[in-house]
Amino acid sequence: MELSLEYWNSLANQFILISALLSGFSIAVLANLIVHEKNDKISNWILKVASISTGGFLVTLFAMTKILMMTTPGGYLENVVERDFLIPRLIGMLGFFLGLISISSIISLSGWTKSKKIGRFTTAIGCLTFLAILILIS
């Protein structure tokens, strides 16, 4: 099924908004962990996963911006077809799912910095959150 360029334009707008918000959150977590004095395994894992999350959402943001520019009426390209933005779409979706997996991992790992009981709870919440997102976007 081929989608119209107007639909892709609206879809790209939504991905830009979501990715901008989630990359901002990931950057905030990343910045806090960088200045944080604690240097244990869990904090280092959260720092790494926050970096992946930030990178994934930023890649999505710029890939979808390219699609938005290509599908805007009167934009810089004429006679655009869906095939023209296959690469930005694939890279953007890969970055988005990488960001979602990573941000769910941040939720899951965060409780382990406090205790096993809270770690189990946040791991369950992180997994349920990721599953709910997968169900809702499919």
Degrees to nearest 5, angle at CA 108 with 120 and 127: 90
pLDDT band at 132 (very low <50, low <70, confident <90, very high): very high
Q: For the whole model, what pTM was predicted?
A: 0.87
Number of domains into which the chain is organized: 1
44's torsion region: left (phi>0), alpha (psi -120 to 50) or beta? alpha
Going by pLDDT thresholds of 50, 70 and 90, the confidence category of residue 40 is: confident
Which residue has better confidence, 55 or 38? 55
1 falls in which pLDDT band (50, 70, 90)?
Answer: low
- Domain span including residue 14: 5-137
Instruction: Find the CATH number of the domain harbouring 91.
Output: 1.20.140
Position 37 scores a pLDDT of 78
Q: Is the pLDDT of residue 77 over 70?
A: no
Distance (Å, whole) CA 42 – CA 44: 5
